[in-house]
Structure 1
Amino acid sequence: MVLLTVLAVVFGGTVTTPAVVWGALCGISQAFGVWWFYAALAAGPISVVSPLTAILVAGVPVGVGVALGERPSVVAYAGIVVALLAVVLVSREAEGEADRPHRFTKQVAWMTVGSGLAFGLNFVLIDQAPVEARLWPLVFARVSASVLVVLIALASANLVVPRGVPLKLALAAGVLDTIANVAMLLALQVSLLSLTGVLISLYPAGTVALAMLVLKEHVTRWQAVGMVLALAAVAMIAAG
């Protein structure tokens, strides 16, 4: 929130009611998306929760974009289909995760669907913010998300100030999150929602690649196939 505010002041922009409203709604959707996603992962099977969430995150902006009149080319449409398949494959659990005793209950199902819709709506809502506001909608998104998360943490007695390594990791994550949000907004401002949203939803491929390089984690055969399909999808959507 601090970094985004500094950047917004530097780059200027006009703060209007639509910028505040759409930004705040975006932040609320982000907060609920994160909360429900990790709650679903903690209570349910990763093999179901992660791919289902991923497909909803990718599908929502595509569906809304097409409903609003966007018409990608045939090649781009094919790329979207490949991207959706890639998201499901790279989000599959690693070996051994399927042995977890967690069940896909009705509560887990609702949290999974809710998180996928909330994350997907995040793209849709911030895409509605006026371009002349520049980075200010992101500031209001982070303010509303921060307030909501703190209130939820207080209500559930989970608010603990991090120290040491967790604090350093949180600060690093904040910097990366700022870069990602700015890149997301700029991409949405110059391209179709249906295409940009599905491309951004391919982020699990980046997570898997970093897990391989940094953490030396083993990647399943299906995840590897998904990463290849993700590269193909990017090329198809860019060409289309």
Structure 2
Amino acid sequence: MTGALLALAAALCYGVADVAGGLLSRRADFRTVAFLGQAGGLACAVAFSLFVPVREFAWPAVAWGAPSGIGTGIAMVFLYRGIGSGTMSVVVPVSAVGGVALPILVGVAFLGDRPSAMAWAGIAVVLPALWLVSRSRTDERDRVRSAVVNGLVASVGIGVQYLALAQAGGDAGLWPVAVGRVTALLTIAPMLVRPRAGESRAPLLPGARATAWAVATGTVAAAALAFYLLATGRQLVVIAVVLSSLYPVVPVLWGVTALRERLSGGQVAGLAAAGAAVLLLTLPPL
């Protein structure tokens, strides 16, 4: 599988995990959903790691999984917090655009990534595409400020997750992903306290069915990180990040097919722009 296809597979898994985790966070405490998801992701990552060849088990490479996991923990908590409060249309674009902008800037400025002119065009198209595709018809302005804060914090976590995991490389197999799930759990664990006055009173301990779904969601998210890590070994980090960040398309398509939602004109334009960006980023340079 090529690097571009691996990155697109990561985007698909990210989108599925975000939709499932966000919906669960409307019935259970968002911190618990994030914690259970990372626990499931840890089991999945260890299982994956046993079957992926390790060319060189270098501890520095594996250690890059630790800061990546810290970023994941922060990102999941604040992303689920925002989506769980019913403001997906604001949280998703902010987290996606911020999460892709930081790795692009660092990749070009410090990591020596040099995308082709066609790839630069795709990068330029994907940022407004992410925003448009995640827009909805809601006019609930009272939640916008809180949603923007949640999205910005999540975007920083996503950016750190991408950058750190890309530095791990592919020689250590998927063990950096497993290490990241451990540090993600350690990052989220201190947040598992009773909510203060004015915060969500959703139960900290969900039922067995919700727990199982949260764990399953985490396994899908871990698969996304595995696909992304493999993609960075076959593709420029900048392009792998951009393609992996197309995950907001998934909630839109889910709403159209499963929830019978109607697309706005902006969302249609965003989907078309996202498709064009994929072509520009995956076609070989002229």
Aligned equivalents of 2:88, 2:262: Cα separation in 1 = 16
2:26 is matched with none
Q: May I ask how many residue pairs the two structures share in their alignment? A: 236
CA RMSD of aligned residues (A): 2.5
Counting only pairs closer than 5 Å after superposition, residues 153-172 of structure 1 correspond to structure 2 as 153-154=192-193, 156=195, 160-172=204-216
Aligned equivalents of 2:281, 2:262: Cα separation in 1 = 29
Moved more, 24-33 or 54-63: 54-63
2:228 is matched with 184
> Is 1:2 equivalent to 2:49 in the alignment?
no
2:107 is matched with 65
Secondary structure of the residue aligned to 1:120 is helix
Cα 1:207–1:43, aligned 2, differ >3 Å: closer, same or farther?
closer
Which of 5, 16, 30 is residue 58 of structure 2 equivalent to? 16
Secondary structure of the residue aligned to 1:128 is helix
Indicate conservation of the 8 Å contact 1:43/1:103, yes or no.
no
Indicate conservation of the 8 Å contact 2:90/2:148, yes or no.
no
Which of 260, 269, 274 is residue 225 of structure 1 equivalent to? 269
Which of 5, 17, 32 is residue 74 of structure 2 equivalent to? 32
Report the AA paired with residue 165 of structure 1.
Answer: R
Aligned equivalents of 1:178, 1:196: Cα separation in 2 = 16
Deviation, structure 1 residue 154: 3.6
Unaligned stretches of 5+ residues in structure 2: 1-41, 197-201
Cα 1:235–1:29, aligned 2, differ >3 Å: closer, same or farther?
same
Aligned equivalents of 1:15, 1:156: Cα separation in 2 = 42
Deviation, structure 1 residue 44: 9.7
Counting only pairs closer than 5 Å after superposition, residues 59-208 of structure 1 correspond to structure 2 as 59-67=101-109, 68-92=111-135, 94-95=136-137, 97-104=138-145, 110-154=149-193, 156=195, 160-208=204-252
Cα 1:150–1:54, aligned 2, differ >3 Å: closer, same or farther?
same
Indicate conservation of the 8 Å contact 1:31/1:149, yes or no.
yes
Q: TM-score, normalised by structure 2?
A: 0.74
Aligned equivalents of 1:183, 1:210: Cα separation in 2 = 21
User: 1 or 2, which has the higher helix percentage?
Assistant: 1
Moved more, 49-58 or 27-36: 49-58
Percent identity over the alignment? 30
Deviation, structure 1 residue 66: 0.8
Deviation, structure 1 residue 223: 1.1
Moved more, 213-222 or 203-212: 213-222
Cα 1:168–1:43, aligned 2, differ >3 Å: closer, same or farther?
closer
Deviation, structure 1 residue 50: 3.5
